[in-house]
Amino acid sequence: MPFVLRSASYYTGDRRHFPEGTRGFLYYCQPNPGAPLVAGQIRFRLTPGNDPASFIQGSDLLMPNGLPWSIPLLMIAGEKIKDQGDSATGIWQQLVDDGLVTPTLLETWGATMKASKLAPIPSSRIIHSFGQLFHVDFDLNCFYFFLLTMNQLRRQRYYGLFTEYEDHPIIRPYLGSALCCFERSILPQHNGTRTVVIRIVKMISPPICVYPDYNGCIPLPVEGELVHYHYKRWGLQPKSYNVDSPGHASLKMLFRDES
């Protein structure tokens, strides 16, 4: 049956209301093949009418950051375990009744998050695969995200992707934001290694330099290009992370199809 969405406050963590006349169907978006089963999401499909046949003609409701509005399955599992009210319980039961997920999956992940004391908030970046889009503000000091494996959830922190951090004070030269993704590097300098780079896939808010005549370590972000940094030792290079080095071993799970 169709729904009318009026408020995003419960699952987006703010008091922003959906656009007037937001109508369509809630549906379960299965994770891509090879991704963790718990990576599924509830999404909202905007449709031209109330007929379920119009679903294919619709499009997912997008948030201002360019990503689909969603309720991650991880949140549903975690909130049900914490007894956070009828909403999480109702969604949990509907997913199970429709055969979309198993009770064991939800119970296992709910217990895992409770034991580890990890609880992704609605705006969390939950990353599990190469090519998966995530939103980044250019003026972030630190880049936080949750790394989801087949059986584990880890909280990660990296210095801001567009932050000049080799000297103090830390410099954040740009305002703006973009959708980015992790990729396996195919650059010649990374041949024979398992190295991750970051691509700027789509600009959401074009970069604005806040320092006149800035000529520092961070080149202007460009849509379609990799994130670069001007290192004192190596010059201008793509930011990269060798997952077989101790400092970036957590990203190794992105190579889960390799031994």
Peptide bond preceding 103 in cis form (omega within 30 of 0): no
In Å, how far are 148, 168, 221 from 172, measured between CA atoms? 28, 11, 12
In the predicted model, residues of the chain with pLDDT beneath 50 are 1-15, 84-85
**Rounded CA gap, 116 and 119, in Å?**
9
At 159 the pLDDT is 83
At 211 the pLDDT is 92
User: Which strand (E) or helix (H) includes residue 10?
Assistant: helix 9-12
What pLDDT, in 10s, does the model give residues 169-202? Answer: 789 999 999 999 999 999 999 999 999 999 999 9
Residue 106 φ then ψ, to 5°: -65, -40
At 87 the pLDDT is 53
At 146 the pLDDT is 92
At 158 the pLDDT is 87
At 189 the pLDDT is 94
At 5 the pLDDT is 46
At 256 the pLDDT is 86
User: What DSSP letter does each residue of 140-154 carry, written as one string?
Assistant: -SEEEEEEE-SS-EE
**Rounded CA gap, 75 and 148, in Å?**
13
User: What DSSP letter does each residue of 53-116 carry, written as one string?
Assistant: GGGGG-EE-B-TTSSBPEEEHHHHHHHHHTT--HHHHHHHHHHHHTTSS-HHHHHHHHHHHHHH
For the chain, domain boundaries: 3-116, 126-255
